[in-house]
Structure 1
Amino acid sequence: MPIANHAAPVAASSLKRTALQATLHCLSGCAVGEILGMVIGTAFGWSNGATIAISVALAFAFGYAFTMLPLLAAGMALRSAASVALAADSASVALMEVVDNAVMLVWPGAMNAGLDNGTFWLALAGSLLLAGAAAYPLNRALIARGKGHAVAHAHHGHGHAH
């Protein structure tokens, strides 16, 4: 089945709900990867650059995986599921990663705090909340145009973004 680059726009009555669900979905994958990357980099004493690099890579990997798994389970081919995941999540996860890592870099002491330090965890939680808040308007605008998570939504056949 060919994958279109867009889907039908979401009805105005469900746009906010769908955008919120899409943002929370993207944030969950982003958060798993970001937290895992920050923990790995911090635990091994890596540089800020290396820690951010692994965090970003893992955030995208988990974000795409969280979108692809239900599609694959429903019988979609791997190549098609990957295409849908790229269309659905790339912009949202990219924005979240920019915001999240910028906050971690500017939060005093966050990147140098150990895993047993509350500053690390508070900054990480705050950065993820701000990242989600930044991505919501983007997701809403993309979904309203039938893009972003609306592409994955079109392949689920139920009333909300997965």
Structure 2
Amino acid sequence: LIGDPPPDGVTKVFDQDNSPGYVFDRSSNVGQSAAAHLPNPFFRDFSLIFNIKPTSTKPAVIFSITDPTQNIMYVGVKLSAVEKGKQYIIFYYTEPDSQSSYEAARFSVPSMLNTWTRFSISVLNEHVSLYFNCDSDPQIITFERSPDDMDLDAGAGVFVGHASGADPDKFL
């Protein structure tokens, strides 16, 4: 999704394990057609894996799949603002034809500010699991969703570091 070389507003860096990473500035705009990268219908059960180093205490979307108007996150992961050394990892899962993005799960974690942090979010049946720092004992939240497939509308987008118009908070 990001490409090599990365687009304007994105700088390639390396983490403590010499794995590539990317620094996003306020001008970054990484997004493409979901149809070019994702199956349709979208996976019912899936996992998203992240290795991030937030440089801001502000809220930030780190990944999203949006509707064609880029007003709703079908699937999204957002960090809340840091407060008292803690923050939330928020998972959005919104059924098509909904009028607004739906927060399906919210996980409390220590602040990740200026720290390389790995975590994954796994969706299996009606459960969302957070594996924070590769912990083998996840936090699990149950949520309701339709048994129907998630059909992505033509023109749906996939974004890294923001959610376009669906949420103004960019990852920095």
Instruction: Give your verdict on TM over 0.5.
Output: no
Larger radius of gyration: 1
Tell me the TM-score normalised to structure 2 length: 0.29
Tell me the TM-score normalised to structure 1 length: 0.31
Larger relative contact order (CA 8 Å, sep ≥ 6): 1
Decide which structure has greater strand share: 2
